[in-house]
Amino acid sequence: MESQFNKEDRFRGNDKMNSIIVAIDNLPSADRDYVYDIFKNAPFSIFQEMSLLTIHKGKVFIQEEAPADRIYYLLEGEVQAVEHRVLGSSYYYMNFRAVEVFGPMEVLLDMKCYRTTLMTKTDCKFIMLKRESYERWIENDAHVLRIDSKATCTYLLKESRRSRLFRFMSGKDSILMMIMQEYEERADERGICEMQWTRQQLSEYSGLSLRTVNRAVQAMEDEGYINHHRGYFKINKEQYNRIKEYLDSFVDEI
């Protein structure tokens, strides 16, 4: 899909807007179309208030309980959610990859503070917009309101269901489900997916003890579901199909 922005005279000579256009145009085609669809009805004033940011690896850019005053559109890189309320330790429990939007949930639910802490897992590129600008935009743009409402509801439903499933699954089955979902998002054109997870990270993501994770990983290796070596997990299409068939045998519509 050709960018409507590139057709419009109003952006010519605007260096900030041109840099945003270049960043979006460099995305994979599906991501590029999705971002342009989000912005397609936005008024010119909104574009004038956008900023293109690069945030380096390991930086917290959203802090739980801090004022929810910014919306972030992740164009490149990976972000991880951090839970720090358990026994005084930090746990990294979820990853997000471009394209993703952070902040609309708090606006749509009329929350004044962010509900989680987010940190860059890699160097990341964002489009940033102030909350007051975003609120003014969605008041007059039903299209973007519908997109962001759907994304927020989908996320909340997915997390609710994930929590319920994990409560009743064994340690091995919980990790197999995580690996299956990771494969569905990240498998390459050869049908191979490589994941760099330490056992400590798996413990944090799944909420399982390190001892349970160690037993589960060993069982998955012994049963041929995964290949694992020094923190790298690797599965192919055949292994993915076996995992899916196994989980489908007792969980509907994973």
Q: Where are the domains of the chain?
A: 5-165, 169-248
Contact in structure between 45 and 139 (CB atoms under 8 Å):
no
Contact in structure between 235 and 191 (CB atoms under 8 Å):
no
Task: Write down the CATH superfamily of domain 5-165.
Answer: Jelly Rolls (2.60.120.10)
pLDDT tens sequence across 61-115:
999 999 999 999 999 999 988 876 544 445 556 788 889 999 999 999 999 999 8
Half-sphere exposure of 193 (CA within 13 A, CB side): 20
pLDDT of residue 10: 54
DSSP string, 166-223: HHHS-HHHHHHHHHHHHHHHH--TTS-EEEE--HHHHHHHHT--HHHHHHHHHHHHHT
pLDDT of residue 26: 92
Rounded to 5 degrees, what angle do the CA atoms 252, 179, 123 make?
130
**Confidence band, pLDDT 50/70/90 cuts, at residue 2:** very low
Contact in structure between 158 and 105 (CB atoms under 8 Å):
no
Contact in structure between 84 and 91 (CB atoms under 8 Å):
yes
pLDDT tens sequence across 139-163:
999 999 999 999 999 888 877 776 6
pLDDT of residue 1: 41
- Maximum Cα–Cα distance across the chain: 62
Residue 250 has pLDDT above 80, yes or no: no
| Alpha carbon distance 232, 234 (integer Å) | 6
- State the CB neighbour count (10 A cutoff) for residue 142: 11
Contact in structure between 80 and 121 (CB atoms under 8 Å):
yes
Residue 254 has pLDDT above 70, yes or no: no
- CATH number of this structure's domain 169-248, picked from the four choices 3.10.580.10, 1.10.10.10, 3.30.499.10, 1.10.287.370: 1.10.10.10
Q: For residue 216, report the phi and psi dihedrals to the nearest 5 degrees.
A: -65, -45
The alpha carbons of the chain give a radius of gyration, in whole angstroms, of: 20
